[in-house]
Structure 1
Amino acid sequence: MKNTDLSKKIKELRTRLGLSQGELADIAQLNLRTVQRIESGETEPRGDSLKRLANALNVMPNDLIEWTEKEDNGLLVFLNLSALAFIAFPIMGIIVPLIIYMLKKDQVKNINETGRRILNFQITWCLAIFLGYILFFCVIFLHVHIPMPNISLANLGGLELMILAPIFYYVFNVLIILWNAYRSYKGKVVIYQPAVRFLR
């Protein structure tokens, strides 16, 4: 089954520019029959044809690619939940979603944005957790004195809070992933914060 959304969008863009199918074919340097088949949904433009059509319609090829993507909220939910692999080892929360993201990139609607947000969050989280482990190692084994703020939470000192921090990080990560999996299931945009934008 061909993508009728793409064919409708191409026709809409063509008529908005006031072009006939023949004129579009001439500008895009495509056969008239090819343009007709694309607009009727008989075929989808790919590669060079897609680029030529995009240029003729004054849009970016990526804009047209978006209309060829299929909606698959189930895959987006799976992509979100794959980040739970961090429970086995923190770096797995990056590797597993990255593999799924790379395999399905540009094939599923919203996967590019969702994938980048998950990866940015997980990379940020991994850096925070590893820095926490390094800090803990320095304090306990190297006896490095780090000035700790005088925080008292349920009569816990700075060292105890430092020990509990990774547990908080893990629980927070799980809750964020589950919440965003639910948002993906509902077709909403995921929100992974705080995160440094490593991937744009």
Structure 2
Amino acid sequence: MELSRKIAQIRKQKGLTQEQLADRANLTVRTIQRIESGASAPRAFTLKTLATALEVNFDELIDPAPADNQIQTDPDKDIDFLKTLCLSCFSYLIIPFIHFLIPLALLHKTGNLNREITAFARKIIRQQIFWKVITCLTLLLTLAYNLLSAYYIGKGYQVHYLWPFFIMYFLNGFLILQRWRQINGMRPDLQRLA
């Protein structure tokens, strides 16, 4: 329930008019009207004053965060968010070592996502972290191969470092595009859940 409706409901249950509540809370009637209509969001001090005037606990007055499975979101906004998150993964082309921090920041900045959207977003971020680790390991293995072949064989065949580098970069681009296609396929499922 919205805070404005909750305050109005508690006031009516206590049998108070807006004027009486305003007198008890030492606020103006206009302030009470604006809060109950949802035109203004009260500050914490005002909420504490209202809780005292209504004789309820401050924690009961403020709305608790809904459970993950009760969060109502717009499927189109969820799809747009996932697409933005997916596109932000292409930052590996510019910032190859810490690019996964950009989609991670987007996820933390966006609140109130349902469980399915959050899980999919985390899966995208984990994929980028795994890609980074595998890319580094591939380059280290290339170095080890080149050192061993130079030491034991002499002028044996050396693998150029750009080959595994470009292969891994193209692979990541392909993986990001695969996730993009998965996101487009999620739209009917999200609309069914809404």
TM-score calculated relative to the size of structure 1: 0.50
Change (3 A) 1:69 1:159: farther
Asked if the contact 1:70/1:108 (under 8 Å) is kept, the reply is no
Structure 1 segment 7-156 matched on structure 2, within 5 A: 33=9, 49-50=63-64, 61-64=67-70, 67-71=71-75, 72=77, 73-107=79-113, 110-140=116-146, 143-144=147-148
Task: Give 1:107 deviation, angstroms.
Answer: 3.7
- Percent identity among equivalent residues? 15
Cα deviation digits, residues 109-150 of structure 1 (max 9, x gap): 74311221011111111001111222333444xx2459xxxx
Task: Give 1:69 deviation, angstroms.
Answer: 2.9
**Alpha-carbon distance between aligned partners in 2 of 1:92 and 1:168, rounded to the nearest angstrom:** 19
Cα deviation digits, residues 11-36 of structure 1 (max 9, x gap): xxxxxxxxxxxxxxxxxxx99947xx
Task: Give 1:77 deviation, angstroms.
Answer: 0.7
Moved more, 67-76 or 171-180: 67-76
Which runs of 5 or more structure 2 residues have no equivalent in the other structure? 11-36, 39-59, 151-155, 189-194
Task: Give 1:169 deviation, angstroms.
Answer: 1.6
Partner of 2:184: 185
Cα deviation digits, residues 78-137 of structure 1 (max 9, x gap): 111110111123234311111111111434674311221011111111001111222333
> Once superposed, what is the RMSD of the aligned Cα atoms?
4.0
**Alpha-carbon distance between aligned partners in 2 of 1:174 and 1:158, rounded to the nearest angstrom:** 29
> Residue type of the partner of 2:73?
E
Question: Which structure has greater helix proportion?
Answer: 2
TM-score calculated relative to the size of structure 2: 0.52
Partner of 1:169: 168
State how many pairs are aligned. Answer: 131
**Alpha-carbon distance between aligned partners in 2 of 1:167 and 1:130, rounded to the nearest angstrom:** 12
Secondary structure of 1:93's partner?
A: coil
> Residue type of the partner of 1:82?
S
Change (3 A) 1:102 1:129: same
Change (3 A) 1:188 1:173: farther
Task: Give 1:163 deviation, angstroms.
Answer: 5.1
Asked if the contact 2:86/2:176 (under 8 Å) is kept, the reply is yes
Asked if the contact 2:88/2:102 (under 8 Å) is kept, the reply is yes
Task: Give 1:171 deviation, angstroms.
Answer: 1.1
Task: Give 1:166 deviation, angstroms.
Answer: 2.6
> Residue type of the partner of 1:106?
N
Asked if the contact 1:83/1:92 (under 8 Å) is kept, the reply is no
